[in-house]
Amino acid sequence: MRVTVQRKDGEPPAPFQIVLTEEDGRVTLTAKNEQSTDLTETQVLNLIGTMPKEPATERGQDGVSITAMLASGRIPVSESVVRRAVRSLETAKKVAVVERADKQKKLYGVIGS
């Protein structure tokens, strides 16, 4: 879960994530610093450009899904952070939805590659 602190006076601290994990019957609550948005966007852009492409259901272009990016283990952030980065990259016209795969999941591709 992403946490953003608001203050009346002064500059608020950087956003962070609270992560709840369970291992061997023990539950642990930890706070993690969030990576900068630019770094996350760069990582997501690199993943979309370098990961193996998933086949599209129609005759469109193959691409990379958010699910595949997370499953690769190459980006240490939550699904919501990846989705936010993809939306930002779409707005900046660096990536686009190239097609859809099974269950209508979106496949992304780098624009201009």
For the segment 16-36, the average pLDDT, to the nearest whole number, is 78
Top pLDDT among 101 and 51 is at 51
* Phi, psi of 70, rounded to the nearest 5 degrees: -70, -40
Q: CA of 29: how far to CAs of 19, 55, 72, 105, in Å? A: 6, 38, 24, 31
pLDDT at 35: 61
User: Domain ranges in the chain?
Assistant: 1-34, 35-113
Q: CA of 16: how far to CAs of 1, 5, 106, in Å? A: 8, 9, 28
CATH number given to 35-113? 1.10.10.10
- Three-state SS for 85? helix
Strand partners, 64: 108
